[in-house]
């Protein structure tokens, strides 16, 4: 039996240790897919490392992050990037719009993944970039994942939105990212 650790307290402790890391190769691919000059929302932004990389390596428009952890948001805000503490499970009241929304390693943690997908589509003007573990990491192994995804199940989340062009970006330079699935959804 697994324990769902997706609480503010859990993520505050996790981000507070300074040990939380995302796979850099996945995050680099996602970053390279963001066109210059566009505003970017990062859902589940953690301490803002990804948004700092976007700021430091391209010419983005406005950058903004949302995370459940006040500890992580404070670290991001202290680095000069705006963001707020927000529970993506209750994302309906968020009313800002962005050209690009990035959501990496979040869907597998939420109970209402369909609601999250609809809300991401609602606040995004042009491009959605999603990365999740690729058909692996069940909750009994992580304590924080509530489901696993493959390309088809991830695409199904966005099928009733305005985002119709779907690209599986998992294959890059003839190399398969075995454990990570990256998909773009465009208007």
CA-to-CA dists, residue 49 to 21, 57, 80, 134, angstroms: 9, 12, 11, 22
Nearest to 50 by CA among 16, 22, 85, 70: 22
Q: How far apart are CA 45 and CA 35, in angstroms?
A: 19
Domain that holds residue 90: 8-186
Instruction: Record the tokens describing residue 184, joined without a space.
Output: 């773009």
> Domain count of the chain?
1
**For 18-22, 71-75, 112-116, 140-144, which range has the lowest pLDDT when averaged over its residues?**
18-22
Does residue 71 lie in a domain region? Answer: yes
Does residue 47 lie in a domain region? Answer: yes
Return the CATH number at 58.
3.40.50.150
- Does the reported pTM lie above 0.95? no
pLDDT one-digit tens code per residue, 6-48: 555 554 455 445 544 556 667 788 888 899 999 999 999 989 9
CA-to-CA dists, residue 43 to 66, 78, 83, 122, 131, angstroms: 5, 18, 10, 13, 11
């Amino acid at each position: 039996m697994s324990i769902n650790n997706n609480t503010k307290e859990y993520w505050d402790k996790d981000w507070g240790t300074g040990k939380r890391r995302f796979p850099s190769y996945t995050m680099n691919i996602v970053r390279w897919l963001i066109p210059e000059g566009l505003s970017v929302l990062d859902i589940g932004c953690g301490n803002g490392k990804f948004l700092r990389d976007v700021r430091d390596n391209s010419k983005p428009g406005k950058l903004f992050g949302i995370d459940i952890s006040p500890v992580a948001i404070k670290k991001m805000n202290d680095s000069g990037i705006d963001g707020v503490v927000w529970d993506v499970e209750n994302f309906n009241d968020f009313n800002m719009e962005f050209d690009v929304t990035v959501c990496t390693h979040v869907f597998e943690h939420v109970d209402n993944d369909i609601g999250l997908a609809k809300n991401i589509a609602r606040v995004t003007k042009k491009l959605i970039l999603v990365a999740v573990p690729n058909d692996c990491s069940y909750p009994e192994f992580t304590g924080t994942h509530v489901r696993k995804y493959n390309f088809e199940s991830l695409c199904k989340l966005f099928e009733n939105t305005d985002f119709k062009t779907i690209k599986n970006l998992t294959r890059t330079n003839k190399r398969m990212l075995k454990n990570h699935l990256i998909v773009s959804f465009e208007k």
